[in-house]
Amino acid sequence: MQRLIPLVTFLACAADAASISITGFVSLVPRAMPSARRLRSTRLRAESQPSSQEPMTWEEKLEQLLKFDTPISQRQLLLRDLVQEAPEIRDEIRDTLVNAVPRREDVESLRRQVVEDILPAARSEGPEVASRLLSSLPALAQRAVTMGPSMLTQVQKEGGLPIATLIKEGRSAFQRTPEGLETPMYTLLYKVDEFEVRQYPEYAICTVRMDTEKDDRYTTDLLATGQAFRQLAAYLFGENRPKPMAQVTLGEAEPPAADKGVAMAMTTPVIIDKSVPKGATMSFILPSDYTLDTAPLPRDIDIDIEKAGGDVLAVRDFSGFATEGEISRQLDKLRDAIALEGKWEVVDESSDAFKVFQYNPPQTLPWLRKNEVAVRVRRKGTGGGEGAGGEVEEPIQEGDEDFDPPSDSA
């Protein structure tokens, strides 16, 4: 029985990750399919549209080729283009796989997380996790039953599967940084091997408090994090109500119906904030088109729309799983490096406040996962103002104030 506990816990993790991934994918399908309707081959666009239009990617061509209603003549053009591009497609796939080969430090981090964090938790908490998972299965099954027919209807309506989206989601499993997702711009103020300091502008977030069983389980309480993720994803993908006149600000030709939500694009990173007195919050960053004034209203009363950013953060990155144990180890290294370096100081040393940034979807290979821990800092000796979230500082780079200022970074 004891040998089965880690397996049960692993299956719980996989099931929860799958439910998150499926929820996100199904929510993406309605947004991806209408855009597929507009796809044309490069030649057809050149004949019927201005040359300024971006050419189709090979994924879009494959999607259009496999659509039910694509004319034979267009299929021939698409197939010819794909055959001609076969060497480039092969090289792209090869490069993606080569870049996914784990580095030694990534393997060491992953081994530490599994041995020191995941397996001990599985042995001690496996039965509890399994019990909670079993109790949640009816709700998961109901969601699957609800989403399945609507997805099938959408596929039939649009004439085929969103192949380009499926390939993109599959490719994200082999990428450290997901492609095509907006992330907040920031100014790089300082950089050394152990950490970097960033000045973030203000941005809008949707946020929800996580209902964790224990205060110290803010990333590995799978049911709590999965529930928070699904709530925020539902809001982002249309479970919302547009604010009056928001459509004018966003340039929409027609105001959306009062009962019709606004589907927004997914962004990165997902933010876990432990700055609250107890527990933690999970937040999604809203696309930059939206502000507090234009963001649609949540239908879920547990979700809040808030202003975030506008602060200076010392950030340290790490790969693998963002377990509480690994986060604690990385925070210790970050704070030690800040103190040793001597130019910066944590804004409130007496507080355990910090943020965790997670950039990857659930299907990303573990050693490729990009995570960051962040604490608010200021220049040493500046008191409570400069560098703590007020004035924008002058950029510096690579630990040397004589370097030329870098441009804004993403």
Provide the pLDDT for residue 42.
Answer: 36
Per DSSP (E only), the strands in 248-331 are: 270-273, 281-285, 297-298, 304-309, 312-319
> What is the tens place of the pLDDT at every residue in 68-77?
888 999 999 9
Those residues whose C-beta lies under 8 Å from the C-beta of residue 159, and which sit 6 or more positions away, are: 67, 68, 69, 70
What is the predicted pLDDT for the residue at 292?
A: 92
**Strand partners for 409:** 186
Of the candidates 313, 331, 336, 315, the one whose C-alpha atom is nearest the C-alpha of residue 388 is 313
> What domains lie within the chain, and their CATH numbers?
4-171 (no CATH), 178-379 (3.20.80.10)
What confidence tier does 219 reach under pLDDT thresholds 50, 70, 90? confident
Q: Which residue has the tokens 């080569």?
A: 98
* 94-103, 126-135, 248-257, 352-361: the lowest-pLDDT one: 248-257
Pair 162, 27: CB distance under 8 Å: no
Q: What is the DSSP letter of 241?
A: E
For residue 267, the cross-strand partners are 182
Pick the residue with more confidence: 262 or 36?
Answer: 262
pLDDT of residue 36: 35
Query: How do residues 347-365 score in pLDDT, each as one tens digit?
Result: 977 678 899 999 998 889 9
Task: Indicate if the pLDDT at residue 37 is higher than 60.
Answer: no
Give per-residue burial for 187-218: e unless 16+ CB within 10 Å, then b. bbbbbeeebbbbbbeebbbbbbbbebeeeebb
Task: List all residues 6 or more positions away from 171 whose beta carbon is below 8 Å from its beta carbon.
Answer: 96, 179
Query: Is there a contact between 164 and 59 (Cβ–Cβ < 8 Å)?
Result: yes
d(CA 233, CA 24): 7
- What pTM did the predictor assign? 0.73
**Cα 397 to chain center, whole Å?**
27
